[in-house]
Amino acid sequence: MPGRSLEETLEVEIMKELGKARDQAGQIAGKHLGMENSAVIMAKCGARGSMLNLSQMAGCIGQQAVRGERLSRGYWSRTLPHFKKGDLGAEARGFVRSSYKSGLSPTEFFFHSMGGREGLVDTAVRTSRSGYMQRRLINALEDLKVMQDGSVRNTAGTIIQFSYGEDGIDPCRSIQGKAVDIDDIILTVLGKEGESIAEVSEKGVVSYGIQDRDLLETPEEPEAETEETDFEEEG
C-alpha cells in the first residue's frame, strides 16, 4: 500500500481478511437464527443492539484491536508465552474464534480483556474532557445575552456581535438555515394554487408545508366501475 511499509501493509490486509471472517460467521449465524428469534427482532426494529452483537454471541467474536492494530505488545516478539516468537497467526495476535455462547479459552479471554480495557479508558477520558470543555464554555458565555436591538452584549454593555450569529437567525426556529419558509407561507395562504408559484421542485428541497400535507392526506381510492344493468341494455 502507498505510504506504508511491507509489514504495515501485511497487517492491514490481515485485518481485512479477519474482519471478513467475522462478518461471514455472523451472516451464517443470523441465517440460522431467523426472523422469529427475539434477539433478531430487537436488533432489526432498533430497540437495542445490532446484528454485530448477535454475530458475536452466536458466531464469532472476531479480532481484538488496540489503537486500531492487532495485539503486539506483551513478551519478547510475542504476545503471550503460549505462542512461538515471531508468530503472525490469527490466534497469536488477538483473534477470538469462539462466541460468547460457546465460551472463550484462557488466551482468548486475556486478549478480549486487552481490547475491552481500551474502550473503558477511552470512554472515561472522553467523558471528562467533554465535561471540562462544556464547563469552560458555560463560564465564558454565561454573561452574554441578546439585547432588544438584536446585538449580543455582555453585562458591561460591550458589543460582542452586532447581530446574533452574524445573521440574526435563531437556529432553534430556523427552517433549513433560513429564518422564514416562504414556500410554507405561500402554501398556507393560497393552498393548492401556491404549489405552482413556490416552484419547490426546482430547489430540490421539499417544503415542510408540502411534506406535512402529503402525510396527512390519504390517497383517494378509485371508484369502482358500476356494471350496467340489464334494463339499460334492453333500452
Q: In sequence order, what are the residues at sequence separation of 6 or more whose Cβ sits closer than 8 angstroms to the Cβ of residue 35? A: 41, 44
3-state helix, strand, coil split of the chain in percent (to 5) is: 50, 10, 40
The residue with greater pLDDT, 3 or 221, is 3
pLDDT at 4 over 60: yes
| Side chain identity at residue 178, one-letter code | K
Assess whether pLDDT exceeds 80 at residue 208: no
Chain mean pLDDT for the chain: 80
pLDDT at residue 195 above 70? no
What is the number of alpha carbons within 13 Å of residue 19 lying toward its C-beta?
A: 10
Residue 213 has pLDDT above 90, yes or no: no
- Cell numbers for 189: 395562504
DSSP 69: E
Q: Which residues contact 79 (CB under 8 A, 6 or more apart)?
A: 71, 72, 73, 92, 93, 94, 111
Residues 127-186 pLDDT 10s: 888 999 999 999 999 999 999 888 999 988 899 899 988 888 888 877 777 777 777 777
Phi then psi dihedrals of residue 170, to 5 deg: -85, 115
Query: Is the CATH number of domain 6-118 1.10.132.30?
Result: yes
Q: What is the pTM of this model?
A: 0.56
How many other C-beta atoms can be found within 10 angstroms of the C-beta atom of residue 46? 8
**Measuring CA to CA, how many Å separate 113 from each of 98, 154, 175?**
14, 51, 48
Least confident of 41-45, 110-114, 158-162, 220-224: 220-224
DSSP element (H, E) containing 161: strand 159-161
Higher pLDDT, 215 or 137: 137
Q: Do 55 and 22 contact (CB within 8 A), yes or no?
A: yes
Residue type, 193: E
CA atoms of 97 and 109, how far apart (whole Å): 11
| Amino acid (one-letter) located at 26 | G
Domain ranges of the chain: 6-118, 143-172, 182-216
Of 73-82, 130-139, 176-185, 211-220, highest mean pLDDT: 130-139
